[in-house]
Structure 1
Amino acid sequence: MITRRQFIKAGVIGGAALAAAGLFYSRGLKEAPVAAVSPGLTFENRPVIAAIVPAILAGALPESGEARKKAIAQTVDGVGIAIAGLSASAQKELEELFTLLSIAPMRMLLAGVWPRWEEASPAQIAAFLQGWRGSRLELLRSAYAALHDLVLGAWYGTPDNWEAIGYPGPPEML
C-alpha cells in the first residue's frame, strides 16, 4: 500500500516533470535562460511574485503610477533576497512552487487563474490567495503562508516602509 509520504513525493516529482515539460514546450525547445534577475528569483518567477504582491499588500502600496511600480519591483527584489537567505531545501521547494505556478495548466489547476499572471485581475489573484488560505489541504495553506510571509517580510524589511507602522528603525549603535 502506498503511504502518504510516497504519494506526496510522487506528486512533487510528477509536478516537477510537468513543469520541466511545460518550460520546454513554452520555449519551443529553445534553451531557457537560468540566470537569476535578483538573488533567489529567476526571470520566470518574477511575474508570479509581482502579481501576488498587490493582492497581499492591498492598501499599503501607493495607489498608482511610478511609485506603485517601483514599490512592487522593490518588494519582488526583497522576496528574492529573502529566498536567497533560506536553506537550500526551502529554496528548492519555493522554486518548485513558482515553477508550477508559472506553467499555464498548473496555474489554472492549482490557483484557478486562467490568464497569464501579468493579465490576471486583482480580484482573481485575491480569490486564489483566499482559496489557498482557507484550503482543507495543509500543503496549500502552508504555500499561502510562505507567500504571505515572504511578501510581508520583503515589504516591511525596507526602511522606506517603516514609517507606516511607526517603527523608528533599529537602535543606533553607541
Structure 2
Amino acid sequence: MQRRQFIMLGLGAGVGLSLGLTLYPVLQSSTQQRSDAATLVLDALLPALLQGALPAEAAAQQAALRRSRDAVLQFLPFLPRRQQAELQQLFLLLQQRLGQLALLGHWLSLNEMPLQSRLQLLSSWRDSYLATLQQAYHGLRELLYGAYYGQPQHWPALKYQPLEFNPYV
C-alpha cells in the first residue's frame, strides 16, 4: 500500500465514521430526545425571527417566547408525518456538533451564537442555493410566525378582528 492510498483510506474512514456518529442519533432517537432538541432549537430561533414583534419589557418578552414555543410543540403532532419527520431531523441535527458545523458553519450551538449571527444564519438559509436549506428556512418561519401570531393576545397589534359567529343569520 502506498502512502497516498493510506492517507485517502484514513480520510475516507474518518469521514464515514463522522457521518455515522452524526446520523445514528438522528435515526435512533427517543421522543424525549426529539422534544429536547425541538425545545433547544426553538428557544434559539424564536428571538431571532420575532425580533421586532416582541414586547419591549423582558418579562413579557420571555412569556411571549415561551407561549410561542409551547404552541409550536403542541402543533407539531398535527403536521403531516413527512413534515414532522423532516422537522425532527432538522432539530436533532442542529443540536449535534457535527450537524451544527454542516448546517451552520460554526461549532457554537445556536444558543451560544449572538442574536445578529442567528439572523444572518437564517438569511443565508433563505438565500441559499441548496433547496433543502431554503425549505428549512421557510418551514420554520411559517411554523414560528403561525405560532406567535395565532395567539389572541397578539391580534390587536395586527389590528385583526376575528369573525363573530351569529347563529341567527
| TM-score bucket (shorter structure) | 0.7 to 0.9
Matched, 1:35 2:32: yes
The count of corresponding residues between Structure 1 and Structure 2 is: 150
Distance 1:15 1:156, change over 3 A: farther
Secondary structure at 1:162's aligned position in 2? helix
The TM-score with structure 2 as length reference comes to 0.78
Q: C-alpha distance in 2, partners of 1:23/1:113?
A: 23
Secondary structure at 1:108's aligned position in 2? helix
After TM superposition, the structure 1 stretch with the greater mean CA deviation from structure 2, 120-129 or 78-87, is 78-87
Flag structure 2 segments of 5+ consecutive residues without an equivalent. 1-17
Deviation sequence 1:93-148 (CA, Å, 0-9, x none): 11011111111221122123432222221011101100000001111111100010
Q: C-alpha distance in 2, partners of 1:138/1:16?
A: 23
What's the CA shift for 1:150? 0.4
Match of 2:24 among 4, 9, 20: 20
Q: Rg: which structure is higher?
A: 2
Runs ≥4 residues deviating over 4 A? 14-17, 21-24
Q: Percent identity?
A: 29
Q: C-alpha distance in 2, partners of 1:80/1:153?
A: 12
The TM-score with structure 1 as length reference comes to 0.76
Distance 1:100 1:125, change over 3 A: same
Q: CA RMSD in A?
A: 2.6
Aligned to 1:91: 84
Flag structure 1 segments of 5+ consecutive residues without an equivalent. 1-13, 25-31
Conserved? CA contact 2:126–2:133, under 8 Å: yes
